[in-house]
């Protein structure tokens, strides 16, 4: 599963206030040292698909790390685990993919 797709899948688990909080944290200049924050005007009306693209454009190779950091801030360590480096780089069997997609 590609990084973009995995980001999308985990972000889709955020509902209402959690999604708002996630986007709010991306405006914080301290989210990841040396990386820019995303201005509120670019985040305001973004849906989950647009947010993935915006994060990939802004953070490039650091997108997964930034995402994990924000998940920790909003107490979604379950999503941090899904995005772990091991999970991103491992070979997934068909049953693992099916199980993950049901989460």
SS3 27: coil
For residue 64, which of 43, 39, 35, 27 has the smallest C-alpha distance? 35
Provide mean pLDDT across the span 12-31: 90
Model pLDDT for residues 42-67, shown as the tens digit of each residue: 999 999 999 999 999 999 889 999 99
Its CATH class, for the domain covering 3-99, is mainly alpha
The confidence band for 83, taking pLDDT boundaries of 50, 70 and 90, is confident
- Could you write out the DSSP letters of every residue in 64-82? HHHHHHHHHHTT-HHHHHH
Q: What are phi and psi of 96, to 5 degrees?
A: -65, -40
Lookup result for tokens 């480096």 = 85
Among the listed ranges 18-22, 33-37, 96-100, which one has the minimum average pLDDT value?
Answer: 96-100
98/30: higher pLDDT: 30
Q: Hey, where are the domains in the chain? A: 3-99
DSSP 8-state assignment for residue 62 = G
């Amino acid at each position: 599963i590609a990084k973009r797709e995995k980001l999308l899948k985990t972000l889709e688990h955020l509902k209402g206030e959690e999604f708002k909080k996630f986007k709010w944290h991306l405006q914080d200049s301290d989210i990841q040292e040396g990386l820019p924050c995303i201005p509120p005007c670019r985040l305001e009306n973004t849906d989950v698909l647009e947010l993935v693209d915006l994060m990939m454009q802004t953070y490039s190779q650091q997108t997964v790390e930034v995402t994990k950091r924000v998940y920790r801030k909003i107490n979604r360590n379950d999503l941090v685990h899904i995005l772990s480096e091991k999970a991103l780089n491992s070979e997934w069997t068909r049953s693992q993919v099916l199980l993950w997609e049901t989460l």
